[in-house]
């Protein structure tokens, strides 16, 4: 497997975007995940830094508004933010924009769609609503060349999707190019019993990966066994980025290359 490493913007050392890109290039990173929002507020600076260094802004963020808010105006704001970030991501040659459907709802204690049983339960209604939203966005994704990348999170950060199998269900509900998913080893360590089986089941639906050890520090500082998951990624022909999303215990200029070397030693 060709290992291409990326990192979340806030983890990259440097006082400016240009410095972050320059430092990442020196350390051997291939990509950076842009987290500043709105995306267009930083797009020009990012694209210039990418041109200067060759580091790809592979993942972009939209504002964590409540995409499943029961209030139509708030839901529309969230969808508009996601749509705008997808446009910028495509223009920058990125892979996609991460969507975490219920993180804002749970972490900010925002309203959730009601239970309308016997017509639909709360879970059924949320799933149907998300399918409608993503189906509407799929054409925009295909035209712009950037995916909506669904991220399952552990149960303490959102109720659903939590496992990779939940992400598979969402992708299959929409069943359109432009809607994909990601695998985050930290959240999988809580929710997915077997990394390798979950990754094989998801297959080509996976277009981004986050790496963190068991205590959410850089790989190599905890007790997570990365080998089965990395082997499964190799088996499915994963061709995108392995992104660090975690704490850096010490000096980033020492610890980040060390973490990349550790993952290389665990990969097939």
How many domains in the chain?
Answer: 1
Q: What pLDDT sits at residue 1?
A: 81
- pLDDT category at 2 given cuts 50, 70, 90 is confident
Contact 40, 83 (CB under 8 A): no
Would the pTM count as exceeding 0.85?
yes
Q: What pLDDT sits at residue 256?
A: 98
Token code pair at residue 128 = 């149907």
How many angstroms separate the CA atoms of 220 and 227, rounded?
Answer: 12
Predicted confidence (pLDDT) per residue in 18-31, tens digit: 999 999 999 999 99
C-alpha torsion sign, points 104, 110, 113, 114: positive
Token code pair at residue 222 = 């905890």
CA distances from 209 to 33, 68, 104, 113, 261 (A): 11, 24, 21, 30, 17
Contact 32, 95 (CB under 8 A): no
What is the DSSP annotation of 225-248? --HHHHHHHHHTT--S-EEE-SB-
For 69, the domain range is 5-266
Predicted confidence (pLDDT) per residue in 45-93, tens digit: 999 999 999 999 999 999 888 999 999 999 999 999 999 999 999 999 9
What is the DSSP annotation of the chain? ----EEEBGGGS-SSSHHHHHHHHHHHT--EEEE--SSGGGTHHHHHHHHHHH--EEEEE------TT-SSHHHHHHHHHHHHHHHHHHHHTT--EEEE-TTHHHHHTT---PPPBTTTB-HHHHHHHHHHHHHHHHHHHHHHHT-EEEE----TTT-SSS-SHHHHHHHHHHH-STTEEEEEEHHHHHHH-S-HHHHHHHHGGGEEEEEE--TTSBSTTSS----HHHHHHHHHTT--S-EEE-SB--S-HHHHHHHHHHHHHHH--
Average pLDDT, the chain: 96
Q: What percent of the chain has pLDDT over 90?
A: 96
Predicted confidence (pLDDT) per residue in 212-246, tens digit: 999 999 999 999 999 999 999 999 999 999 999 99
Token code pair at residue 36 = 């500043």
Predicted confidence (pLDDT) per residue in 111-123, tens digit: 999 999 999 999 9
Q: What is the mean pLDDT of residues 249-255?
A: 97
CATH no. for residue 123?
A: 3.20.20.150
């Amino acid at each position: 497997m060709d290992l291409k490493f990326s990192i979340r913007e806030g983890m990259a050392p440097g006082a400016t975007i240009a410095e972050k890109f320059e430092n990442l290039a020196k350390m051997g990173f291939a990509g950076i995940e842009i987290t500043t929002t709105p995306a267009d507020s930083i797009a020009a600076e990012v694209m210039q830094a990418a041109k200067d260094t060759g580091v790809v802004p592979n993942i972009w963020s939209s504002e964590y508004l409540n995409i499943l808010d029961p209030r139509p105006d708030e839901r529309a704001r969230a969808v508009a933010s996601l749509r705008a970030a997808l446009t910028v991501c495509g223009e920058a040659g990125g892979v996609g924009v991460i969507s975490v459907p219920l993180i804002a709802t749970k972490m900010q204690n925002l309203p959730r769609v009601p239970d309308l049983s016997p017509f639909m339960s709360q879970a059924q209604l949320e799933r149907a609503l998300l399918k409608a939203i993503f189906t509407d966005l799929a054409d925009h994704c295909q035209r712009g060349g950037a995916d909506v990348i669904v991220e399952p999170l552990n149960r303490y950060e959102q109720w659903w999707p939590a496992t990779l199998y939940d992400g598979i269900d969402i992708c299959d509900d929409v069943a359109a190019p432009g809607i994909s998913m990601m695998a985050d080893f930290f959240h999988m360590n809580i929710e997915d019993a077997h990394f390798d089986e979950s990754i094989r089941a998801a297959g080509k639906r996976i277009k981004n990966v986050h790496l963190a050890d068991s205590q959410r520090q850089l790989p190599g500082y905890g007790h997570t066994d990365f080998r089965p998951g990395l082997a499964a990624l190799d088996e499915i022909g994963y061709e995108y980025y392995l992104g660090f999303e975690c704490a850096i215990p010490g000096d980033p200029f020492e610890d980040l290359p060390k973490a990349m070397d550790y993952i290389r030693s665990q990969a097939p």
